[in-house]
Amino acid sequence: MSKLINGISYNTHEDLLSLSDLSDTEKEEIKLNAQIATAIIKAREEKNITQKKLEEISGVTQPLIARIENGKTEPRISTIIRLLEPLGKTLKVVPIENSKKMA
């Protein structure tokens, strides 16, 4: 997720959230990406699966899994689904008021 803004490289969700000129929508997108990364880590650890094993069962490369989990890249929805499915998880669309309560 490394982004170059005004000559400064931002590498993690926390780096990006530190920007003061972000819109509320941009902040919510960053927070959602962080929540997705956390959910993938939690699901993987609950199954006691390494990133390498997740690579084998999902087809997503271990380096990409690491970048997603570290907040260094914004994964496509198809990639998220490929990671979550073998972990017994999926994505769910919920009303905004419900998603903010869950955060």
Q: Tens-of-pLDDT digits for all 103 residues of the chain?
A: 455 544 555 566 666 666 667 788 887 888 888 899 999 999 999 999 999 999 999 999 999 999 999 888 889 999 999 999 999 999 988 887 765 555 5
Handedness of CA 99, 63, 71, 4 (dihedral sign): negative
Q: Give this prediction's pTM.
A: 0.74
Break the chain into its structural domains and give their ranges: 3-102
Report d(CA 14, CA 98) in Å as an integer.
23
Q: Are 24 and 100 in contact (CB under 8 A)?
A: no
Tell the CATH topology of 3-102: 434 Repressor (Amino-terminal Domain) (1.10.260)
How far is residue 62's CA from residue 83's CA, in Å, rounded to a whole number? 11
The amino acid that residue 84 corresponds to is: L
